[in-house]
Structure 1
Amino acid sequence: DRDWKITINGKYIDVRVMQTFIMPPGDATAATFNASLPTGVRLLRLNVHTSGSIWQGKVVDSEKYEQLTAFDLRQLSRRGILIVQNDEGVISTDAIINIAASEAVTVEYTYRTTTEDAKVSQDLFVVLANENIGTIQLAGSRAPDATVWVEWVGNNPSHLTHAPDGAFLETADSKITGLSWIASQHGVNVRFHLAWSM
C-alpha cells in the first residue's frame, strides 16, 4: 500500500508519504529504505512502524554524515534511524534491524516544498517520487495503486481549474476543502497537475 497526503497552507506544501511493505518469508532480517525526493525539497521527518516497534528518523545531510565518527554514529543510531539525504534529494536509512519474516513494515515520511505565490491562484505540478526500499521491495514488482489526499489549510480555493481524472471534491461554505483520487503507479515518477483559483 502507498498513500500520499498533501497539505497546502499558503505557499507551503507538505507532502506525507506512507508506504507499507511485507518482508519476504524466511529468517528475521534487516532492511534499509531509499527514496528519491523531488528536486529541491528537504526531508522533514521519517518514521518506521512494525507491529511491535516504532523507529524515529534522525536526518543528516551527506556532508555532515561523512564527518561523523564511529562514536557519533553509535550515539545517533541508539536514538533511532539515521537518515542521510544527498544533494540530489536521495534519502537512505541505515539498517532497520530485528524485523520478523513476513512482517508488515510501514515507512512514513514528510517533505516540504513551496509555491511562488499563493495569493490569487495556483498552477501546481507535483511529482510523487518513486520509492525503492532495497531489501524490502521485491525486484521487478509493480508499485501498487495509491490514494492521494489533498487538503487546504487557511485560505481555501473557490474553484479548481485542473484536477486529476476521477478526483472526489470536498466542499464547505462554497469553498474547496480537499480532494482525493486513486493514482496508478506504473512509472518511475508520477506527476499530477492541480490548478485552482481563490
Structure 2
Amino acid sequence: MAKILPQFARWTPVALDVLRETASRYGAVITVSDLADEVLKRTRVESPTSRRTWLGDLMEITALAAARAGDPPLTSLAVQRDGTVGDVYGRAVLAATGDVVKDVEQRAAEDRLLCYRALATDLPADGGTARPARVRSTRAASGSTTTVKRAVKPEDRPAKICPTCFMALPATGICDNCD
C-alpha cells in the first residue's frame, strides 16, 4: 500500500481534475510524467524527494480517490512514454478495487474506454473501442496536444562494420585499418 505524504492531500484532487480533463477527449492519454508536472504546477506544492519515490503512490491514492468519488478508473489514462501502464496500474487497480490483474495493459485499455464513455465529449457514435494507448503529451494549460517522438540516438543505430577486418567503420565509411 502507498505511503502517505502530506503533499498527497493537495496533489490527489488536482490529479483527478487533470485525468478528468484528459478523459473528456476520446482516445486521449497523458504520460505519468506530464501528469506529475501538471499536478506540481497547479498545486505549487513540491516534493522534498524524487518523483520516483512517490509517483507510484500518487497513482494508487488517485485510483482509490477516483473509485470513492464514483469516477471511472481514471488512472488508466496515465501511461508511460511507450504507451504502456505497467505494474503501477496493476497496483492502482488492486488499491481501488481489490482485483489482482493478470494483463494490466488489456485491463487499462478496457478501463480507458470506460473513462471515455463516462466523460468524453467527442465519443464516436459506436461507443468507441478498447485499444492500446497512443502516447500524446497533453498540456492542459495550453490546450494543445503534440505527439511524443523518441529521438534516435547515434548509439541506437547499428555500427557499420568493415567486411574485411570486422571493425566498426568511422563516419567516413572508409576503414582506417584496411585502407
Calculate the TM-score normalised by the size of structure 2.
Answer: 0.27
Higher share in helix: 2
Larger radius of gyration: 2
Whose RCO is larger (CA < 8 A, sep 6+)? 1
Q: TM-score, normalised by structure 1?
A: 0.25
